[in-house]
Amino acid sequence: MWKFTVRRIFVMIPQVILLSVIIFILAKMMPGDALSGLIDPNIDPATIEAKREALGLNNPWYVQYWDWIKNAVQGDLGQSFQFKMPVSEIIGQRLTNTFWLALLTLIITYLIAIPLGITSGRFNDTWGDRLITGYTYVGFGMPLFIFALVMLWIFGFKLGWFPSGGSVKPGLDPGSFEYIVSKFKHMLLPALSAALIATVGTVQYLRSEIIDIKQKDFIQTARAKGASESRVYNRHILRNSLLPIAAFFGYEITGLIGGSIFIENIFSYPGIGQLFLGSINIRDYTVVTSCVLLFGIAAILGSLLSDIILSIVDPRIRIK
Amino acid sequence: MSKELLKIENLKTSFRIKDDYYAAVDDVSLTVNKNELLAIVGESGCGKSALAFSIMGLHSRATIEGNILFKGKNIANLPPNDMNKFRGKDMGMIFQDPLTALNPLMIIGDQIGETLLLHNKNLSVNGRKVKVIELLKKVGIPRPEYTYNQFPHQLSGGMRQRVVIAMAIANNPELLIADEPTTALDVTIQSQILDLIKVLKEDSHAGIILITHDLGVVAEMADRVAVMYAGQIVEIADVYTIFENPLHPYTRSLLNSVPNSDETNSRLHVIQGVVPSLQNLPREGCRFSDRIPWVDSSFHEKNPVLHEVSPGHFVRCTCYKHFYFPHESKEEKQNVIS
Which one of A220, A225, A314 has the shortest CB-CB distance to B114?
A225
Of the residues B150, B170, B190, the one at which a domain ends: B170
B145, B180: one domain: no
Q: What is the pLDDT of residue B330?
A: 56
Q: Nearest-CA distance from B200 to chain A in Å? A: 18
Residue B52 within a domain: yes
Minimal Cα distance from A242: which residue of B?
B105
Angstrom distance (rounded) from CA B232 to CA B29 = 9
Mutation site, A122, A219, A221, interface B, largest B CB count within 10 A: A221
B133, B74: one domain: no
A307: exposed, middle or buried (Cβ count in 10 Å: 0-12, 13-18, 19+):
buried
Q: Which of A22, A309, A262 is nearest to A146 (CA)?
A: A262
Residue B20 within a domain: yes
> Contact A306/A246 with Cβ under 8 angstroms?
yes
B80, B111: one domain: no
Put simply, whether A221 touches B (Cβ < 8 Å) is: yes
Residue A314 to residue B89, Cβ atoms within 8 A: no
pTM given for the model: 0.79
Residues of B in contact with A211 (CB under 8 A): none
> Contact A266/A277 with Cβ under 8 angstroms?
no
Which one of B88, B101, B151 has the shortest CB-CB distance to A226?
B88
Would you put residue B161 in left (φ > 0), alpha (ψ -120 to 50) or beta? alpha
Residue B334 within a domain: yes
Residues of B in contact with A244 (CB under 8 A): none
Q: What are the residue ranges in chain A where pLDDT is below 50?
A: 320
Q: What are the residue ranges in chain B where pLDDT is below 50?
A: 1, 338
Angstrom distance (rounded) from CA B101 to CA B275 = 27
Residue A298 within a domain: no
Mutation site, B114, B119, B135, interface A, largest A CB count within 10 A: B114
DSSP string, A136-153: HHHHHHS-HHHHHHHHII
Instruction: Give the number of domains in chain B.
Output: 2
B-contacting residues of A 125-184, CB under 8 Å? none
Residue A194 within a domain: yes
Minimal Cα distance from B88: which residue of A?
A225
Which one of A218, A224, A228 has the shortest CB-CB distance to B58?
A224
Residue B151 within a domain: yes
Q: Is the dihedral of CA A106, A108, A111, A116 positive or negative?
A: negative
Q: Nearest-CA distance from B169 to chain A in Å? A: 10
B28, B61: one domain: yes
Which one of A221, A229, A315 has the shortest CB-CB distance to B102?
A221
Residue B96 within a domain: no
Residue B99 within a domain: no
Residues of B in contact with A228 (CB under 8 A): 80-81, 84
B7, B62: one domain: yes
Of the residues B129, B155, B170, the one at which a domain ends: B170
Angstrom distance (rounded) from CA A205 to CA A213 = 12
Residue A242 within a domain: yes
Q: What is the pLDDT of residue B331?
A: 54
Residue A131 within a domain: yes
Q: What is the pLDDT of residue B281?
A: 75
pLDDT, mean over chain B: 85
Minimal Cα distance from A230: which residue of B?
B81
Put simply, whether A316 touches B (Cβ < 8 Å) is: yes
B291, B147: one domain: no
Instruction: Give the number of domains in chain A.
Output: 1
B307, B184: one domain: yes
Residue A224 to residue B93, Cβ atoms within 8 A: yes
Q: What is the pLDDT of residue A33?
A: 66
Q: What is the CATH number of the domain that holds A252?
A: 1.10.3720.10
Q: What is the pLDDT of residue B275?
A: 76
Domain that holds residue A223: 90-283
Residue A235: partners with Cβ closer than 8 Å, 6 or more residues away: A222, A227, B114
B66, B7: one domain: yes
DSSP string, B206-267: -EEEEEES-HHHHHHH-SEEEEEETTEEEEEEEHHHHHHS--SHHHHHHHHTS--SS-SSSP
Minimal Cα distance from B177: which residue of A?
A224
Minimal Cα distance from B85: which residue of A?
A226
B311, B206: one domain: yes
Minimal Cα distance from A239: which residue of B?
B105
B331: exposed, middle or buried (Cβ count in 10 Å: 0-12, 13-18, 19+):
exposed
Residue A114 within a domain: yes
B36, B183: one domain: yes
Minimal Cα distance from B170: which residue of A?
A225
B189, B140: one domain: no
Domain that holds residue B275: 1-90+173-260+267-338
B30, B140: one domain: no
> Contact B239/B218 with Cβ under 8 angstroms?
yes
Which one of B97, B105, B118 has the shortest CB-CB distance to A226?
B118
**What count of CB pairs under 8 Å joins A to B?**
77
Q: Nearest-CA distance from B276 to chain A in Å? A: 25
> Contact A224/A269 with Cβ under 8 angstroms?
no
Indicate if ipTM > 0.95. no
Q: What is the CATH number of the domain that holds B226?
A: 3.40.50.300
Of the residues B136, B170, B204, the one at which a domain ends: B170
